[in-house]
Amino acid sequence: MANKGIRQIDYYKTILEGRKFIAAFTLSAVIIAALMLAVTPKSYVSEGIIRLGEVDGKLVYEPEDAVNIIQSSDVLDPVAEKYFPNKGESTGKKLLENGISITLVNQRINIYETRVSSFLKVTANYDDAEKSNQISSSIIDNFLEYAKADFNKKKNIQIQEYNTLMKFAQIEYNESNDVALESYNEKTQGIRNEIAERKNDVATLNDYVARLESEIGSTEPKNMLPEEISKNLLLRSLSDGNRKMLIDERNVLLALENNLVMEKVNLKNTLTKNKITYEDKLANNTITLGDKMGNTRDFEVIKHPRTPDTNSSPNIIISLAVVFVVSLSLSVIITIYRSVLELV
């Protein structure tokens, strides 16, 4: 009998007849909810996002380490003492327990997978919009000040390595030049000594040949006495032999002087090669440093906290909409249920 009654209910007619109850119930629920929302404390959210610094393409802090640092007493305690000076325990730990959250921003790789990025989000949630903004800004400023020292330290390490490489390149350049000059001096000193000796020999032979030729004179053998002819022939023989020796000595001297010139050319080539190698090292070191500095970026606030225009909670519109829908649905259900009971 009950089942038959339920099947015979005209839902539209039932709801239409109970419209006053439905309207009164829904309106009452909405009014009560509005009154409750009016006395509920409002909260305002201010958030900022920090991009972690990198040196030579490597993060200064790993994301998890950065979270620990920004949650440390070094960063949060000064903020707590500034904005909550009269609280019993003005510590960063209290901030984390009430109003402050530090989270890592996840980066979506695909629809199934996300990964931790190099971004930190600082969120302040308090009952005063300006205070939320000031606290989140202060936390970010303190963290950036704290991180500056570590960033500069790692950056300076790269610059120091560059300066060390440049210094070593200069030392190697100087040493290679010193070796080349020392080798040149050793080789050419013997050549110079031999050239000096050969020049003395050439001068001696030249003088001796000159004396022989002066003794020979210009007299024809046919006008000489037999003994003079013999002496003249001997002098000519000596002169010819010493002249040949003189030519040989001059050839040797010329070869030695050519060797000295070649050693100078070799030295110049070696010094030029050393300079080119040195300049290449300087250029490579500079390019390497440029690449490292190109992959270096400071900590940066990519989203600055601001004073929120509206409260984040409670959301009056959404809350009243939910109450309206729920109360309306519930009043309809009650109306239909009452009709079913009357039929039974």
Can you give the CATH number for the domain in which 168 is found?
A: 1.10.287
Question: What's the structural domain count of the chain?
Answer: 2
Q: What is the mean pLDDT of residues 239-266?
A: 86
Does any domain span residue 91?
no
Same domain, 174 and 285: yes
* DSSP 8-state class, residue 52: P
At 319 the pLDDT is: 82
- Check residues 340 and 23 and name the one with the higher pLDDT: 23
Q: Helices (DSSP H) in 100-128: which residue ranges?
A: none
At 87 the pLDDT is: 58
Percentage, residues of the chain above pLDDT 70: 85
As separate numbers, helices (DSSP H) first and strands (DSSP E) second, the chain gives 9, 6
Tokens 């007493």 correspond to what residue?
73
pLDDT band at 5 (very low <50, low <70, confident <90, very high): very low
Token pair in block for residue 11: 């839902």
Q: What is the mean pLDDT of residues 249-267?
A: 90
* DSSP 8-state class, residue 41: P
User: Is pLDDT above 60 for 224?
Assistant: no
User: Is pLDDT above 60 for 7?
Assistant: no
Token pair in block for residue 272: 């030029």
Q: Could you list the residue range(s) of the whole structural domain that residue 227 is in?
A: 158-294
Does any domain span residue 119?
no
Same domain, 259 and 334: no
Encode pLDDT of 41-59 as tens digits: 788 889 999 999 999 989 9
CA 20 to chain centre: 72
Does any domain span residue 129?
no
* DSSP 8-state class, residue 85: T
Dihedral sign of CA atoms 164, 169, 170, 171 in order: positive
Encode pLDDT of 154-179 as tens digits: 999 999 999 999 999 999 999 999 99
Token pair in block for residue 296: 């270096």
Residues 6+ apart with CB under 8 A from 314: 37, 40, 42
Same domain, 285 and 166: yes
Query: What is the C-alpha separation between 70 and 76, in angstroms, rounded?
Result: 7
pLDDT band at 245 (very low <50, low <70, confident <90, very high): confident
CB atoms within 10 A of CB 135: 26
Same domain, 282 and 330: no
User: Is pLDDT above 80 for 239?
Assistant: no
Q: What is the mean pLDDT of residues 80-99?
A: 74
Same domain, 268 and 327: no
Q: What is the mean pLDDT of residues 130-143?
A: 92
Same domain, 178 and 287: yes
Nearest by Cα to 119 from 55, 45, 67: 67
Mean pLDDT of the chain: 83
Same domain, 330 and 229: no
Same domain, 322 and 289: no
User: Is pLDDT above 80 for 241?
Assistant: no
Does any domain span residue 275?
yes
Query: What is the C-alpha separation between 163 and 161, in angstroms, rounded?
Result: 5
Does any domain span residue 53?
no
Q: Helices (DSSP H) in 217-299: which residue ranges?
A: 226-294
Same domain, 228 and 336: no
Tokens 């270096």 correspond to what residue?
296
Query: What is the C-alpha separation between 146 and 141, in angstroms, rounded?
Result: 9
56 φψ region: left (φ > 0), alpha (ψ -120 to 50), beta (else): left
Same domain, 287 and 165: yes
Tokens 């729920």 correspond to what residue?
326
pLDDT band at 134 (very low <50, low <70, confident <90, very high): very high
At 6 the pLDDT is: 46
